[in-house]
Amino acid sequence: MQMTETRRWRFKGPEMEGPIARWYARVRGSQSQLDAYRKQAFQLTAGLRDGARVLEVAPGPGYLAIEMARPGRLQVTGLDISRTFVEIAAENARNIGVSVEFRQGDVAQMPFETDSFDLIVCQAAFKNFTLPHRAIAEMYRVLCAGGTAVIQDMSKDATHADIEREVNEMDLGRISTFTTKATLEMLKRRAYAPSQFERLATDSPFKTCEISTEGIGLEVRLKKESR
């Protein structure tokens, strides 16, 4: 789906490649977080039929995609702009014997056919997209009729206390706790408030969305109507 869009400005931080990507993979790979990914995977995929096709956009180290694929009943694909993350995620999946296809690519121009997936998941990444309207339009394009896109991300309305509580529950070391809190405070600047997501949805082919909030996060559900 072709469209013209001005790139959204964002602070140019370190790219998620090489050592930075590997550091992030370690930080997000604590046992408590892996347990949380498993719980999230079950909640996201519980209503899908066997054999359904799932795409995770920006899966990073692949932990959530792997948990969605672990039961063996779904076809799971991950698409990330970072070549390092694709390598890390593929290695993580191989190491535990789970089948997931991880590919390198841009959410604003996805390398998939129209109507390819029954569910799309994008977790903790949407705020980083410089072409958010095009990203949502591409999610719509590659979704099957009747499919759902679920975007889970940080809310611009999150408070300092919300961030403190969230990071303290991650079971990180002292240094990683400090750096993670500082990173979230920075990322909040480019996060979306619920009202902003409502406008994005209205301007997209989806037209509407459902939004819920909890702690530092929000969840947006976008449904592609059945034909």
Q: DSSP letters along 86-119, please?
A: HHHHHHHHHHHT---EEEE-BTTB-SS-TT-EEE
Tell me what pLDDT residue 180 has.
Answer: 85
> For residue 7, what are its two tokens?
């790139």
Q: Which residue has the higher pLDDT, 226 or 117?
A: 117
Give the other-Cβ count within 10 Å of 1's Cβ: 12
Domain 18-155+192-223 has CATH 3.40.50.300: no
Amino acid in position 106: D
151/123 Cα distance (integer angstroms): 6
Tell me what pLDDT residue 14 has.
Answer: 53
Tell me what pLDDT residue 181 has.
Answer: 83
Please report, for the chain, the start and end positions of each structural domain, with discontinuous segments joined by +: 18-155+192-223
42/75 Cα distance (integer angstroms): 14
Give residue-wise pLDDT tens across range 120-173. 999 999 999 999 999 999 999 999 999 999 999 989 988 888 888 888 887 778
Q: How far, rounded to the nearest angstrom, does the alpha carbon of residue 150 sit from its chain's CA centroid?
A: 8
> For residue 22, what are its two tokens?
């590997």
